Chains A and B, each alone.
Chain A
């Protein structure tokens, strides 16, 4: 029996509309509306989005306002975001930040990296500072995006797993790993435009793997005893050797002639890779979904552990290695989204974990289905009698 749940349902009666550019004027207009809704009750708020984007600061202020607690520390209102027509740039980020994010079919969602407009003439010094700032901003936003969408992305993986056997059967290489199956499966669901970002994520992930084998394996044993700077230095040394070895056959290659930039890129990539593993949220995720990913007999064994802490530890130990490849690919994907212009359809956004649901698309599994599917009520004696009487009345009437 499907019972509508307010945490997943659009509610125009408790909604704000983000239309047009996200700027100071929009914030002045929207803030009183949000505060009023929060004061009336702590029920979910729907945020309809149709915006080309705007200031990132403005979007962050808006998010903070939406997530305000009250004087009784009741916790923030649950936020349902919904793109009606277009969510680009900062608006796309706002969309994905919803506790539950919905896209109307035919809506368009555009992701790209940070950009800036400079009014002052550029110099060598200012461009290098600017490049560093933009790079850092992109990295920060990729990390923040990862926090917002990792649950959705992992949920897609859980669903996709049921199709891995089919993917393997159809693929020329039937020995595909689970991650490769997942990549293939999602690739088949995406539009041509979205496949480009997926391809970039694959390339980036391939680079992670190369770096991992040469760098991480070399410093792995010692890294626990090192300070952050020492670990960074060890990584840089290993990357220098890696690049020199990789470019041995090219007599024109040098650090001065572009290799230094590559070294910086590698170093930051390596950091991204580590970031993928460091998330403490994995434990929380395992508690909810771990059982779906391990073999049923192992799930049973874990369930049989009486002590809750031990059970959770065992689940994490089992799930962690299974999810490792996905986690590092996910980090690559979040960074790939910050490169170039990524114009996505509503369905792309669903498969890439950027939204939870596409309105009217019944074949896309979402969390709403899980919470709204309630067991049918057990009929009581009275209810049975009433049903029988009603049937008799209907029959007599006929």
Chain B
């Protein structure tokens, strides 16, 4: 039986470039920003995004 956990670890063990790490941090920051504002209510976040889009469309 192959061990997928080990396979994943091997895959994940590839060293990440500085650019990739920077990117990960940027992504985490964005996720944390949403969490801080909306908690786990992603539906509320989506509604806000839709409102913003409407405003942009109307100019």
Are both chains from one complex?
Answer: yes
- Residue numbers of A with Cβ under 8 A of B are 1-2, 7, 42, 69, 73-75, 78, 143, 147, 158-159, 161-163, 228, 231-232, 271, 274-275, 278-281, 284, 287-289, 291-293, 296, 362-363, 365, 369-371, 373, 375
A370, B1: Cβ atoms under 8 Å? no
Produce 1/0 per residue, B15-58, CB < 8 A to A.
01101100100111011011100011111011011101100100
**Are B12 and A375 within 8 A (Cβ)?**
no
Asked whether, in the complex, the Cβ of A369 is within 8 Å of the Cβ of B12, the reply is no
A-B contact pairs, 29 of them (CB 8 A): A2-B53, A74-B17, A74-B19, A75-B16, A75-B19, A158-B42, A159-B42, A159-B43, A161-B40, A162-B43, A228-B1, A231-B1, A271-B1, A275-B4, A278-B4, A279-B4, A279-B5, A280-B5, A281-B8, A289-B31, A293-B40, A362-B49, A362-B50, A362-B53, A365-B42, A365-B45, A369-B49, A371-B30, A373-B52
The one of A159, A228, A291 that contacts B35, using a Cβ cutoff of 8 Å: A291
CB-CB under 8 A for A288 and B28, given A162-B41, A162-B42, A369-B49:
yes
Docked Cα-Cα span, A296 to B50, in Å, equals: 25
What residues of B have a CB within 8 angstroms of the CB of A296 in the complex? 39-40
Task: Tell me which residues across on chain A come within 8 A of B5, comparing CB atoms.
Answer: 278-280
- When distances are taken between beta carbons in the complex, the residues of chain B under 8 Å from A271 are 1
Interface SS of B by simple majority: helix
Closest to A287 in B: B28
B49 to chain A minimum Cβ distance, whole angstroms, is: 5
Given A162-B42, A275-B4, A296-B39: A371 in contact with B12 (beta carbons within 8 A): no
Q: A278-B3, A291-B40 are in contact. Are A373 and B12 (CB under 8 A)?
A: no
Shortest A64–chain B CB gap in Å is: 14
Write the nearest CB–CB distance from B29 to chain A, whole angstroms.
Answer: 9
> Which residues of A have CB within 8 Å of B52?
1-2, 373
* Contact A363 B40, beta carbon cutoff 8 Å: no
Nearest A residue to B49, CB-CB? A369
For B11, B12, B19, B30, the residue with the greatest tally of chain A CB atoms inside 10 Å of its CB is B30
